[in-house]
Structure 1
Amino acid sequence: MASVFDGAPSSSLQSKWIWFVGLGVLLLICGLIAVGNLLLATVVSVYSVGMLMVFGGVVYLIHAFQVRGWEHILFWALSGVLYVLAGIFAFINPILTSAALTLFLAVALLVAGVFRVFIGRRMKPLKGWGWIVVSGVVTALAGFIIALGWPVNSLWVLGLFLAVDLILQGWTMIAFGIGLRSVQ
């Protein structure tokens, strides 16, 4: 029977199975802590986005002075300054930033859900098209529910998403590590 790891350096991965399990346990613990304090998890997620925006803004500013022509320099420099300012704002007022990000999340889920429903209906003669429609309806419904509770739910929605992601990633790493251990 062929292994998933045929052609891959499975022995080096197999010998590290405990690291995957350890990482999974750590992620799972972080996810449970996040569930215990969704407001703190929301602030942490906003700070993460803020750090990424500051970093991206600095990269834009560095890039601005690598291009030729004032119109290009001006565009990249202005973009960089706006990113840096938005990132700094995330640190100055994480609650207001979480409200903006939560609203953006709600709109993105609504648009993605409607798009999936549209695509699923277009695939109607193909087998499994209904699952795409159901996925779209669930996604759009999640966006609608988030939008209905906005701005009050912005204190916990991002934290809940972070917590659920950490828990799922933790279980995934644990399962992967245990799976690696059992591969012969």
Structure 2
Amino acid sequence: MNTTPPDLTTIVQAEKKFLGKYTVPVAIILIVLGFLGVMSPVIMSAATDGILAVILILGGLTWVAHSFQMHAHGLGDWLRPLLLLVTGGIMVAMPSAGIASIGLLFILYFAIDAYRNFTRPKALEAIGRGWFIFSGIADILIALLFIVTWPQGSLFLVGIFVGVNLIFDGITLIMVRNTPIGTPTS
């Protein structure tokens, strides 16, 4: 197993090329949206539910078109588009159920991330072991927060976590934009 970190200069160059001159405006938009999400978590939760519903519905319609194009006649060929369309439709019709489902996904994500953080230091031979354990404990606490407050708490927590993530994504874009190429980042 290769435990060598990737070349950070290559990563920074790729990130700078991705958005080019639009890096700072996109970063500012992400930060503003993030702050709006933290200030109005219910609206951010509803927006997150709506965006996921649209993605599911578009995916379902794409699979319907694909199934028609392939002249699919079996039940298995139609289950995926049906599931995507029904799930997206439920998320649109009952946004609170969609937001509660997103909360369950967050619980699963943080539980898996905690497991990874607790098992990862063994492979790295003590490199950053304390930080991995700290991150794992934080993951467990966040998962417990979602579990204890589910389903009502998801209405606020999903919006807050998405908002905070957008803020950090925007800050990261600005930091990457301002990092001189070839300069060590740590």
TM-score normalised according to structure 2 size: 0.76
User: For the structure 1 residues 83 and 23, does the alpha-carbon distance in structure 2 shift closer, same or farther, using more than 3 Å as the test?
Assistant: same
Report percent identity of matched pairs.
Answer: 20
Aligned positions of 1:81-160 closer than 5 A: 81-117=82-118, 119-120=119-120, 123=122, 126-128=125-127, 129-160=129-160
Structure 2 residue identity aligned to 1:23: V
Deviation at 1:64, TM superposition (A): 2.3
User: Of residues 29, 35, 57 in structure 2, which corresponds to 1:54?
Assistant: 57
Unaligned segments of structure 2, at least 5 residues: 1-8
Q: Is the 8 A contact 1:31 1:164 kept in 2?
A: yes
User: For the structure 1 residues 65 and 125, does the alpha-carbon distance in structure 2 shift closer, same or farther, using more than 3 Å as the test?
Assistant: closer
User: For the structure 1 residues 124 and 133, does the alpha-carbon distance in structure 2 shift closer, same or farther, using more than 3 Å as the test?
Assistant: farther
TM-score normalised according to structure 1 size: 0.77
Does the alignment pair 1:32 with 2:35?
yes
How many residues were matched structurally? 169
Distance in 1, Cα, partners of 2:87 & 2:124? 46
Distance in 2, Cα, partners of 1:169 & 1:108? 18
Distance in 1, Cα, partners of 2:178 & 2:120? 36
> Which structure has the larger Rg?
1
SS at match of 1:108: helix
Distance in 1, Cα, partners of 2:120 & 2:90? 39
SS at match of 2:153: helix
Distance in 2, Cα, partners of 1:126 & 1:179? 30
Deviation at 1:67, TM superposition (A): 4.5
Structure 1 residue identity aligned to 2:81: G
Unaligned segments of structure 1, at least 5 residues: none
User: For the structure 1 residues 31 and 70, does the alpha-carbon distance in structure 2 shift closer, same or farther, using more than 3 Å as the test?
Assistant: same
